[in-house]
Structure 1
Amino acid sequence: MTSNEALCRALRDPGDPPVRPLPREVAELLLTLTAPPRLAAHLRLVHDVAYDLADWLSGHCPELPFDRGAVLFGAATHDVGKAVHTGELTGPGSAHEPAGRDLLVAHGFGAERARFAATHASWAQARVSLEELLVSTADKVWKGKRVPELEDLLIGRIAGAGGVERWEAYLALDELLGRIAEGAQGRLAFQAAHPV
């Protein structure tokens, strides 16, 4: 199988359980970049989890406004810089963050949309948006990782907007994230099925 065929497979593999496809503009960008198939699979998984988070937040706390489209685009592109820094697909590193933002801008995506590539690991910064918190959360919980400090920031936003106690917001979010985390093994297997 050629690398292009492997990438197409990563973009179209239905998954079991099913994994939502990436937005068309993101899939086309990955094809243009001849991105590693593993990257495409990873972006699909984080996008899929972000979709569930956005659905839940819209239903659970409708009084908390957020840009759903920005969250989904951010999740779908957060690691796109790993198309340039491929060593960070299997090892540590943060060079992909500014590289991803720059790559998206160079391909015609505005800075506002491209920011997630640079900010998805910077959720502890003072002015982090709700959209950035959601992308960061999706990027952790897709593999079953729970980050209490990150979740606490999200809980604060939910409690404040919904007029509920923090413990109530915690219980609701914890239930959702626990349910998502339970599917981590299947998502990790899906990602591993696609070559670096």
Structure 2
Amino acid sequence: MTSFRPLPAEVVALLEVVDAPPRLAAHLLLVHDVACQLVDWVEEHGPKLDRDAVLFGAATHDIGKVRYPAELSGPGSQHEPAGYELLLEHGFPERLARFARTHASWNEPGIEFEDVMVSLADKVWKGKRVPDLEDLVVSRLPGVPWEAFMALDDVLDRIGAAADVRLAFQTAHPLSR
């Protein structure tokens, strides 16, 4: 059995309050775990970033799906602004709530490195590689770009190697209570 790093206590409490579906809680746990791995790597190789913000963002990025449950198993982006509003309604500051609305818009102007890292975690947890997103990460890393790319590629390959385990874990959780 694979163990994943637990969600922050305030996120666990929120998921209970909003009666989050088990599949959503599992997804948030998995993206959070991958974000932990990415942040650990960036702290060794990259620029300074707000670790707690990235981990909170990864742990809540899809929280709006409690209001749009069809987006748990199908396409849609209504959950993004809904999640942002839900987090604000529950007293979370805008600097943390923003990840619910920015996790799919990593290529927009003004997006911070923390937003990009949440977006990356949300892609690579399932083994998906997005070259433009990875290039954006590399552009924000110090050093020679091709060396930064190779180092990032190595960590993403390592994370992606466990994608099947994560997908099976998520799928084992029902879409509703």
Give matches, 1:75-154, under 5 Å. Answer: 75-154=58-137
Partner Cα distance (1:194, 1:21) in 2: 16
* 53, 61, 64: which one aligns with 1:70: 53
* 22, 33, 49: which one aligns with 1:37: 22
Q: CA deviation at 1:127?
A: 1.2
Q: CA deviation at 1:60?
A: 1.6
Matched residue type, 1:54? V
**Number of the residue aligned with 1:52:** 37
Higher relative contact order, chain-length normalized (CA < 8 Å, sep 6+): 2
Partner Cα distance (1:96, 1:179) in 2: 30
Matched residue type, 1:41? A
Q: CA deviation at 1:146?
A: 0.2
| Equivalenced residues, count | 175
Matched residue type, 1:18? S
Matched residue type, 2:76? G
Partner Cα distance (2:4, 2:19) in 1: 21
Matched residue type, 2:10? E
**Number of the residue aligned with 2:157:** 178
Matched residue type, 2:14? L
TM-score using structure 1 length: 0.88
Partner Cα distance (2:116, 2:84) in 1: 17
**Number of the residue aligned with 2:5:** 20
1:66-90 deviation digits (Å, cap 9, x = unpaired): 1000000000000000011000000
Matched residue type, 1:52? Q
Partner Cα distance (1:147, 1:57) in 2: 18
Unaligned runs of 5+ in 2: none
What is the RMSD computed on CA atoms of the aligned residues?
0.6
From the CA coordinates, give the structure whose radius of gyration is larger.
1
Moved over 6 A (4+): none
Q: CA deviation at 1:55?
A: 0.3
Partner Cα distance (2:4, 2:43) in 1: 20
1:29-61 deviation digits (Å, cap 9, x = unpaired): 000111100000000000000000000000123
TM-score using structure 2 length: 0.98
Q: CA deviation at 1:17?
A: 1.4
